Amino acid sequence: MKSNDKGIHLKIKNLKKAFGNVEVLKGINLNIPSGEFVAIVGKSGCGKSTLLRHIAGLEKESDGEIFQNSERLGSINKHARFMFQDARLLPWERVLENIGVGLGLKDNWKEQALLSLKQVHLEERASDWPSVLSGGQRQRVALARALATKPKLLLLDEPLGALDALTRIEMQELIETIWKEQQFTAVLVTHDVAEAITLADRVILIEDGQVSMDIRVTLPRPRERGGNAFGKLESKVLSQVMKKNQQPLLEDVTTV
C-alpha cells in the first residue's frame, strides 16, 4: 500500500451534514492513506462535492469528525489546495501573478511561480493575460497555482469537466505525472467513470449521502483505456452507479 510523509493521511468518521431538514451526508466513513489518489463518483446531488468541501474545511459538519495525520480538522484546511471546474483566474492579473497570488506574492514568489508553470509546460505564457488562453491552458494555470505551494493534499472538483475530450486526456496525464512526482494525497470528484479509473488508486461511489462502493484499482499505470481489463472495471463501476447491481461493492479497501 502506498504511504509517505509527503501527503496527508485522511480519516473521516461518521461524517454527517444537513441543510435544514435535508440530509446530504448520512455517515461517511473513509480512510485515505497518505499519497493515495482517490476518485469519488456519483450522480448529481449525491453529496460528493459537499464531502470535498468538508475536507477543505469550507463546511461545518453536522456530526462526525475529519482527521488528518491524527489531528482533528476544525477550520480551513491549510494543507489542502482546491482546483475547481472553472479556473477562477484573476482577469486583471497576468498568468505569473495569478500563480503568485497563491504564494502570497512574498519572497521568491516569481521563481516558485515560474517553476510551477514549467511543471504544466506553460512557462512561455507567463506574461500573458488569462483572456488569451484556451480553456485547457487556463486549467493548466489553475493547476500550477494549486501546486505552487507544494501542497500535501490536492482536492479536485470536476476540474476537467468543461474541456474537450483530447484536452481532458492531456490534463489527466499531466495530473497523474505531477502526482507521481510529488506524492501528495489527491481526492478527485468526477462524473466520468473512465477518468476515475484512469487516475485513481481507489474509486468510491456515493449514493444518497452514503458510501455504496469502495473498490481498489489495481491496473498498472499508465492505464490502457482500450484494454479489456479497463473495460471490465469501467462496466463494473457503471453498473453500480446505474443501480444494475443493488448490492454494496466494498473490495480490498483500507479500514484502519
H or E stretch at 187: strand 185-189
pLDDT of residue 169: 93
Residue 10 backbone phi and psi in degrees, to 5: -100, 135
Please give the distance of CA 70 from its chain centroid, rounded to a whole number. 21
pLDDT of residue 255: 35
pLDDT of residue 6: 86
Q: Which three cell numbers stand for residue 64?
A: 462526525
Cα angle for residues 252, 203, 164 (degrees, 5° grid): 155
13 torsion bin: left (phi>0), alpha (psi -120 to 50), beta (else): beta
pLDDT of residue 244: 56
DSSP string covering 71-127: EE--S--TTEEEE-SS----TTS-HHHHHHHHTTT-TTHHHHHHHHHHHTT-GGGTT
Mean pLDDT by 10 residues, the chain (256 residues): 77 95 94 97 90 94 94 91 92 94 80 92 95 95 92 94 91 95 96 96 94 95 91 93 64 44
Q: Which three cell numbers stand for residue 206?
A: 456515493
pLDDT of residue 144: 94
Q: Please give the model's pTM, rounded to 2 decimal places.
A: 0.90
pLDDT of residue 188: 98
Judged by DSSP in three states, 24 sits in strand
Cβ atoms 198, 172 nearer than 8 A: yes
Distance CA(219)–CA(234), nearest Å, equals 12
